[in-house]
Amino acid sequence: MANLFQQSRRNLARWFTLSMGSILVVFAASIYVLDVRGRLHAFDTELENKARVMAGGIQYRLRQGRLQPRLDHVPMLGSNTLPLDSKIAYARWYTSNGKLARFVKRQPPSQQLTTMGFETLTLPDSPTQEQSLLLRQLTFPVKHEGVLIGYLQIAVPLTSLQQTLDQLRLLLTLGVPMGLGLIALTGWWLGGVAMQPLQQSYQRLHHFTTNASHELRTPLAKVLGHAQLGLMPASDIESGARLRLEKIVHVTRGMSRLVGDLLFLARHEGRLNSEDLELIDLTKLVQELAWDVASLAQTKTITVDCDLPDQAVMVVADPDLLGQAITNLTDNAIKYSPPSSRVQLRLITQGRWAVVQVNDNGSGIPADALPYIFDRFYRVNATRSHSEGFGLGLAIAQQIAQAHGGQITVRSEPGKGSCFELALPRQTL
């Protein structure tokens, strides 16, 4: 079973890593693509501004009825002006017919204009560069009063943009695997957290099944033994036949109580439905229960004292289940109290809580046993385990209290008795 939990934990961690890792990779790729587009758009805008500055410096003259550009005063293209920007790889001017008229820094491979708009080019001859030099080229028409004068073409190296994107790729290359590693560790941790309640539930179920099997094994063996004696020859069993049948009936009744208690615990797991609850007077209920247990206490010469408030204490509860819980606590107190002692049944209010206290002068409970006193089939020691019962009474009482939104606590000192407190939310009228 431990391997099954480990396998389930690995599967949870694997699927968590795959799902979250896929989201991370898609997110990183989207970030990279959007960043490239944004930076390239900014780069193109800057390049276009430079081109427009150059185009704005062009002067025109009318020759033979046609406008002729004067490029001498154009930044970079002009012979008498300073370069507009040393980062510009080249600048070229084409006539309105698309023929090369002037260029700066780099001569084009063709004398005829072939492209328009933005274009990314790889510089063919860059022997000193560790990687190919990329250029961003812009070619746009220059017009004067709607008349096409020529075409201006400039190009700028993409080195700065490449370096920025290289850094971003390096960051993503290192960051994404680290992120996947963290996701895997988180998935493994979350898998452990998710499996913990299942493991605890399985352990409780395993413990419950083991105890139930152990408790049922003894009465079944007794029934089998008495039944086998009943199959012996009549002469051998006449004297003890009735006694054996009575023992079978007694054992069977005990098994019936155990099965009933187990069914009760199984059916009333969790909070009760609101339609099963009703507003009841807890003072009246405790008074009626005290009368009922008084006869049981008299058989052990134990006196049951009842201390109740004068006014009604209202709670929302299932009266049958709540009565079962109080009866279990009272029976438990009577069972472990010495003869001629007293058991006190008391009802008080503490803030918004109604508290039923059951005090006894019995043997008490050791401190190391208190954390387990409400566990199913738990019995403290040999003295208590020799008594009748299967160790389910307190577990049932606690489950009923929790089903009503309340709780049961216990204070005990060995040799001086115990005090069980059943606290329920009190309703104010």
In tens, the pLDDT along 9-28 reads: 888 889 999 999 999 999 99
Q: Is the pLDDT of residue 129 over 70?
A: no
Contact 21, 183 (CB under 8 A): yes
User: Measuring CA to CA, how many Å separate 201 from each of 68, 208, 301, 355?
Assistant: 92, 10, 43, 30
Predicted TM-score of the model (pTM): 0.52
In this prediction, residue 213 carries a pLDDT of 72
In this prediction, residue 382 carries a pLDDT of 47
Q: Is the pLDDT of residue 47 over 50?
A: yes
Per-residue pLDDT tens for 50-107? 888 878 777 777 676 666 777 766 666 666 555 555 678 888 888 888 888 888 777 7
Q: Is the pLDDT of residue 385 over 60?
A: no
Q: Is the pLDDT of residue 233 over 70?
A: no
- Most confidently modeled of 37-41, 88-92, 140-144, 266-270? 37-41
Contact 48, 230 (CB under 8 A): no
In angstroms, the CA 325 to CA 397 distance is: 4
Contact 357, 421 (CB under 8 A): yes
Contact 376, 391 (CB under 8 A): yes
In angstroms, the CA 133 to CA 156 distance is: 10
